[in-house]
Amino acid sequence: MGESEAPERRIIFSLFSAALVLRLAYLLEMSSGPYFVSPQLDELNFDLWGRRIAFESFWGHSVFPRGPLYPYFLGILYRIFGHDYFLPRLAQSVLGALAAILLYLIGKRTFGRPPAVLGGALAVAFPTLIFFGGELLITSIFLPLSLLTLWLFLRWSEEPRRTGRLAAAGAVCGLSALARPNMLLVAPFFALWSAWVAWRAGLSWRGNFAGLVLLTASVVAVILPVTVRNWVVGRDFVLISSQGGINFYVGNNAAATGFTSATPKQFRYWTEYEDSVDLFARRQAEIETGRGAAEGRGAAEGRGAAEGRGAAEGRGAAEGRGAAEGRGAAEGRGMKPSEISRYWSRKAWDWIASHPTDAARLALKKALLFWSAVEIKDNKSISFAARFSRLLTVLLWILPFGLVAPLALVQMVRRRPSASQALLIGFVICYMMSVVPFFVCARYRMPVVPVLLLYAAHWVVEAAGEISCKRVRAVAIRLVLTGLFALLVWVDSYGARRVMRELRHEDYWVAGNGYMISGRYEKAAEYYHLAIEEKPDYADAWLNLGKTLIQAEDFEGAAEAINRLLAVDPDNTGGLSNAAVIAEKTGDPTRAEELWRRALDLEPDNAPALLGLGDMLRVLGRLDEGEALLRRAFEIRPDDFEAAVGLALLYRARGDAGSLTLWAEKARALNPEQTDKRLKEEARPKAN
C-alpha cells in the first residue's frame, strides 16, 4: 500500500465507522419507542408488500402502483432471514454509512479533500439522514443510489472515452428510477451533461451520439423488465408505476396545499391494507367516469380506516395483515391503472389550463417550501419523533436543514461552476423540478441533502481561507449573500410551522397507534389522551382510546371514550361496533346485538361488525344466524383468522365434522399456533 493511500483509507474507514455507530445508536433508542415494531401508513404498505413478495408471490398479480425496488429489497431480506423489523434497518444503516463515503468521494473529485472530508462528516451526523435511514421507506435506498449515480458520472467524466463507466452510470440511474420514478425526469439532464462533457473532451459527433445511445440503452435495459412484467401480469402498459397521475392531481387542484398528500375524500374498505391515495384514485375515477363504480367488496366512502380488531387506524387504510402491492387495483375490471393515471393527469392539466395564475402561485409556493427550514411531515413528524431519541434531538439542534441550505445556496451561485460542479448543481435543480409538480415534504427533498452538505462544507472551507487571508470584502459579500438566502429559507411565508403545530394531534395519535399495535396499552392511552388535549373532538383518538381500553379490559373507561366519540359522531360505525363489544363483555348481549345491527344498517359490509355479531351469536347458540354473518365476514376479508376460527368452532358446536376440518385448516393457514389454542376451547351448545 502506497503512502498516499493510507490516509485515504483511514478517512473512508473513519467516516463509515462513525456513520454506522451513530445510526445503530439511533436504532437502539428508537427500538423502545412506538414506531419500531408497529409500522403504519407508507411503512406498513411497504412492509406488507415485502412480505407478500417473500412469502406469497414473488412476481405479484397487478401493475405496480409505486416504484417496486424498495419492496423487493424488503422482500428478499424477509425471504432469506425471515420477517424482522431490525434487519432491514440494519441494512439501511450500512447503506447510509456507505452514502457518507460516496459523498466524500464525490466531494474529493469536485472540491478537493478538505471540503470532502467535512462534507462526509456532515453526512455522518446529519439528523434527517439518520432519521430516514431508520424508516421503512424508499428514501433509505434511493439516496445512496442517487449518490452512486453522481459518482459514476464523475468517474466517467475523467475519461469520457471509457464508455463502460457511462453505461454503469445509466444503469444505476435506471435502478434509482425503479425506487422513485421521478428520477426519470432528471435523466435528460444527465444526458445533456454527458454530451457537453464529451464535446469538451473532443469526442467526435459520432462518438458523442454513440455515448448518448449507450446511456439511454443502459437506463432502458434496467427499466424494461419492470415494464414487461407490468404488461404480463396486468395487461397494461405502465412504464414503472401507476400512481404518477393521482400524485400530480393531488399537487395541482383547487384544494391543493402544496405539502400534503391528502385526497379530497377517503374511501373505507374492509379487505387488506391499501394505500389511501391509490384507493381514492381508483374508486373516484370509476365513479366519475361510470366505469366499474366502486363495487369492490366492503368499499364505502367514509371517515378514517377500517376498524380491524387490534389494528390502529390509518388515514383511509386498514392497518391489518394483508398485501399492499395493489391487489384489487382494477385487475381486468373497470379502468386499467394506466387509464386511471391518465384520467387524473388530465384533470390536473385542465385545472392548470383554466387557472394559470393560481397554478403558477402554487408552483412558486412548492418551490419555496422545498427550501424551507421547516421539516414538513408526510406520515411522521421528525421533530415529534425526536422525543424518543436524545441523539436525534441533539442533532436537530446542531445541524438543522435551515443552517445547511443557505450556506449551500451561496456556494452554488457565487461563481461559474466546473463540469463536476455543474453536474451536482444541475442534479439539485432538476430533482427539485421533478418534485415541485407534485407536493413537497421533508422526505421528498432528501436526495439533494447530501449535495447541499457538500456545498455547505465548501462554504466553510472557503470562508476560513478568506478570513485567514484577511479578505474583508470577500467575507462581507459572503455574509450578505448568506443572510439573504437565510431569509429565503427561514421566513415562513406560507405558515408551514403553524400547520405542523396544528397537526400535532395526529402525531400523538400515530404514536398511540404504535403503542396499541405493540400491546403497550397504558402508553397508547396516554398518547391518545394527549391527542385529545390538542383536539377535543378528535373522533379517531376517542375511538382508538376506547379500543385500547377494551384490550386492557378497562370497560368502564372504554365506555366513556366510546360515548364521547358517539356524542361527536353518532353514526361512527367503529364507535358502534366497539360499544357493542363493551356491551357483550359486560354481559348485555341484547344491547350488543342492537349496536352491531345499527352499524350494519349504516355499512352492510362492515367486516368487524359482521364478525363481532356473528361470533356472539355463535356463542349464544344461534348457529344459523352466526354462520351467515361469519361467512360474509370471511368473504369480505379472506385473510381474517377470527372469522375462520369462529366458523370452525361453530361447525364443531353443530357437530359438522367435515366443515370443522375445512375451516380449521383455513384458520391454520392464517395462524397455526392460535388455531390449535382456540380449538381447545370447550364445545359450545349445539343448535336446537
Domain closes at, from 327, 351, 375? 351
Q: Please, what is the angle between helix 607-619 and helix 573-585, to 10°?
A: 20
How many residues can be counted in the chain? 688
629/612 same-domain check = yes
272/204 same-domain check = no
175/40 same-domain check = yes
Phi/psi of residue 628, each to 5°?
A: -60, -45
Mean pLDDT of the chain: 90
Q: How far apart are CA 620 and CA 616, in angstroms?
A: 6
534/458 same-domain check = no
Strands (E) across 554-629 are located at none
330 located within any domain: yes
Average pLDDT of the residues in 594-618: 95
Determine the structural domain holding residue 364 and report its residue range.
Answer: 5-234+354-490
Residue 617: CATH number of its domain: 1.25.40.10
138 located within any domain: yes
Residues 443 and 132: beta-carbon distance below 8 Å: yes
CA dist list (Å): 368 to 245, 325, 363, 464: 23, 33, 9, 29
509/624 same-domain check = yes
* Cβ neighbours for 452, distance < 8 A, ≥ 6 positions apart: 404, 405, 408, 428
The pLDDT tens digits for 633-650 are: 999 999 899 999 999 999
495 located within any domain: no
620 located within any domain: yes
477/517 same-domain check = no
The pLDDT tens digits for 337-382 are: 999 999 999 999 999 999 999 999 999 999 999 999 999 998 899 9
> Nine-digit cell at 460?
466553510
pLDDT at 332 over 70: no
SS3 655: coil
Residues 639 and 322: beta-carbon distance below 8 Å: yes
47 located within any domain: yes
228 located within any domain: yes
60 located within any domain: yes
**323 falls in which pLDDT band (50, 70, 90)?**
very low
DSSP annotation of 31:
T
Residues 323 and 272: beta-carbon distance below 8 Å: yes
673 located within any domain: no
pLDDT at 609 over 80: yes
- DSSP assignment of 211-232 equals HHHHHHHHHHHHHHHHHHHHHH
Q: How far apart are CA 148 and CA 128, in angstroms?
A: 19
pLDDT at 261: 80
pTM over 0.95: no
386/472 same-domain check = yes
529/624 same-domain check = yes
Q: How far apart are CA 239 and CA 225, in angstroms?
A: 10
Of the two residues 192 and 328, the one the predictor is more confident about is: 192
431/576 same-domain check = no
Q: How far apart are CA 500 and CA 487, in angstroms?
A: 20
Residues 351 and 359: beta-carbon distance below 8 Å: yes
* Cβ neighbours for 271, distance < 8 A, ≥ 6 positions apart: 296, 297, 298, 318, 322, 328, 636, 637
376 C-beta neighbours (distance < 10 Å), count: 23
SS3 318: strand
Average pLDDT of the residues in 432-445: 95
Long-range residue pairs from 625-629, CB within 8 A, at least 24 positions apart, any chain: 626/650
Domain closes at, from 637, 656, 674? 637
**314 falls in which pLDDT band (50, 70, 90)?**
very low
Cα atoms in the 13 Å half-sphere on the side-chain side of 334: 22
Q: How many domains does the chain have?
A: 3
433/514 same-domain check = no
Q: Which residue in 207, 200, 105 sits closest to 166, CA to CA?
A: 207
Residues 229 and 59: beta-carbon distance below 8 Å: yes
Residues 354 and 237: beta-carbon distance below 8 Å: no
pLDDT at 687: 37
260/312 same-domain check = yes
